[in-house]
Chains A and B, each alone.
Chain A
Amino acid sequence: MSILVDKSTRLLVQGITGSEGSFHTQRCIEYGTRVVAGVTPGKGGSKHLGVPVFNTVEKAMIETEANASLMFVPPAFAADGILEGIEAGMPLVVCITEGIPALDMVKVHRYLKGKSTRLIGPNCPGVMSPGKCKAGIMVGEIHLAGNVGVVSRSGTLTYDVVSQLTGLGIGQSTCVGIGGDALPGSTFEDILTLFQADRDTKAVVLIGEIGGTMEQEAAEFISSKMTKPVVAFVAGSTAPPGKRMGHAGAIITGSAGKASEKITALSRAGVTIAPTPAEVGLTAKKVLQSL
């Protein structure tokens, strides 16, 4: 098993005909993901990369039974694209787009309440279940199928951690990039809940960073509800306060946003902290050996 995406995933790509959409759709297909539909308003009825294109998400779902959407819509229109997916009842929406205005996401979150859609991202690399389905922009080759779940706020740092794991022969059940924005669709806690329930996930690697309180909420969940071991690294120990470190969410505004506070909360919850970002793989290996 795995979480969120697997062999049964029938992927729809919103913004399939754009340059990023095209490039990554091609790579998802090459990885073995079943891409069943694309949506670009105005291009319905055509085919792109051998995939039928529709004008609306609703129509694409009726025609192709797509059950997950991957979004490459530009930031000014992305919230609208997510809302369209939610309204159509799409079970999973993975939004890659970076730079969506925060108040657009406030609207999206309000609309999500009580709906069945799970949103991953925005500003994320996507979701990957090695050997089964790649719904994102991550490099396929660095992954290895296995039993460690990975959840992260970062993109390239996750690639580095995943290749450390793969290099040590530690495979992954699913790797989830929840994204670098301040208002992510899914939080660490949401994804940890899924990993805890997943039979094939034996341990979890969590990559946090400065800003917000998501790591502290994860720590609370881990200490009260989680039985599986968690290894973590929190990036940004050396970041100055009040500066946005690339990600919209990576800014220290109160003391809770500091890396040290997050590390303390996670350690108290029984999480094993990797001393450096280069040793996350080794730390995970030790934890797995002690199981």
Chain B
Amino acid sequence: MKIHEYQAKALLTQYGIPVPRGNVAFTPGEAREVASEIGSKVVVKAQAYAGGRGKAGGIKTANSPKDAEKAASQLIGTRLATHQTRPEGVPVSRVLVEEASNVARELYLSILVDGASRLPVMMASEAGGMEIESIAESTPERIFRSYVDPAIGFQTFQGRKLAYKMNLDGGQIGEAARLMMNLYRLFMDKDCSLAEINPLAVTADEKLLALDAKLSFDDNALYRHKDIWELQDKEQEEPLELQARDWGISNYVKMDGDIGCMVNGAGLAMAVNDLIQYCGGRAANFLDIGTLNNTERVVNSFRMFVADHRIKAVLVNIFGGMARVDVIARGIVEAYQQLNIPFPVVIRLAGTNLEEGHRILAESRIGFISAKDFYDGARKVVESAKGAVK
């Protein structure tokens, strides 16, 4: 789960990490008030779950409260499209207004869990302001890593070593080490999946300041962080994905094709999408219905397909293990009874209680296309989708 920059900065402040003075504003008027409280040149930053806001025009400077109001009015209520968002962008409903800083150097700092070592790792670089992926690709030697033993946590000496590597000056070494220890504490306390300060500024008066902050959280751990869960801004989510979650389908990802897919299991669902592309079609979504032994999620999956006007054909591919094929079949029949299904549906079933599943579908007399295996299913759904175009 992601949160906005101003929320991330509030958490940094709680953990003793310095951020520029500022506040969130939901209206241009509020932006003006915040700017006059600050009383100097400010930066007005569109709040959106997207990187690359600066280049996309989402960050403006303002010399007066009046300018801040104007800048906010140009951002609030618009959509911001960056290289990280879909072309239509994400809505901007609020801005962060904060004091403009006099920056001497921009550093990079982040913590995440490293998959290979299975340890938290603090990453630091002098190449702040750039995206870490591009630093890693162009100049990997400019990223310094310090792995953390979770039994004892991040230690001061680790922070000192990284600070020296980033060529910080004497007085800043201790400050940087403390900042890193605080960031580690935040990362662990809140079950972050990423805690990133980029850039971490060294100001003209030689202080460290988190100019931008990105925190994301482990979805699996949100049950123990109600405070974080409440920060979620649903408007930033893809509407179809949000709808899917409301209907109990947590593993739904919108894709850019026209073939609806309903599959059990994430690996199989990815493989189905790959196979559809191989057969010359494109999936409209990734949908793992998971293990279920009730029909509701099947009906709701069909509801998703009906709600998604791009859909020209649907492929159901179920390999029953924990999930029972007969339950899925019953769900499909219920979907046909409850909804007006305007597109052809290709069904491939295998696994637990297969015969019963086939019997239910056959007796229902719904007009579906049967597929004998996975490949057959992909081929048939691609053909069906093309037929629907005619």
Contact = CB atoms under 8 A, between A and B. Distances in A.
B118 A237 contact: no
A138 interface: yes
Contact of B267 (A75, A235, A248): A235
Interface string B114-137: 011011100000000000010011
Interface in A157-182: 157-160, 163, 180, 182
A277 B220 contact: no
A11 B145 CA distance: 41
A110 B218 contact: no
A245 B270 contact: yes
Given A212-B115, A213-B115, A110 B277 contact: no
Interface residues of A, number: 63
Contacts of B351: 139, 142, 159
A76 B220 CA distance: 9
Given A75-B220, A103-B221, A277 B275 contact: yes
A45 B314 CA distance: 51
Interface of chain B, main secondary structure: mixed
Given A75-B220, A238-B273, A214 B115 contact: yes
Interface residues of B, number: 56
Interface string B258-275: 000001111111111111
Contacts of A101: 191, 218, 220-221, 224
B320 interface: yes
A158 to B, nearest CB: 7
B267 A180 contact: yes
A234 to B, nearest CB: 9
Contacts of B137: 255
B220 A155 contact: no
B203 interface: no
B274 A278 contact: no
A242 B263 CA distance: 21
Interface in B203-230: 218-221, 223-224
B85 to A, nearest CB: 10
A243 B253 contact: yes
A246 B286 contact: yes
B373 to A, nearest CB: 7
Interface of A: 20, 75-76, 99-107, 109-110, 125, 137-139, 142, 152-160, 163, 180, 182-183, 207, 209-210, 212-214, 217, 233, 235-240, 242-250, 254-255, 259, 275-279
Interface of B: 84, 113, 115-116, 118-120, 133, 136-137, 149-151, 188, 191, 193, 218-221, 223-224, 251, 253, 255, 263-278, 282-283, 286, 288, 319-322, 350-352, 373-375, 378
**In the A-B complex, the 8 residue pairs with the closest CB atoms:** A154-B267, A246-B266, A156-B265, A101-B221, A278-B375, A157-B267, A277-B271, A235-B270
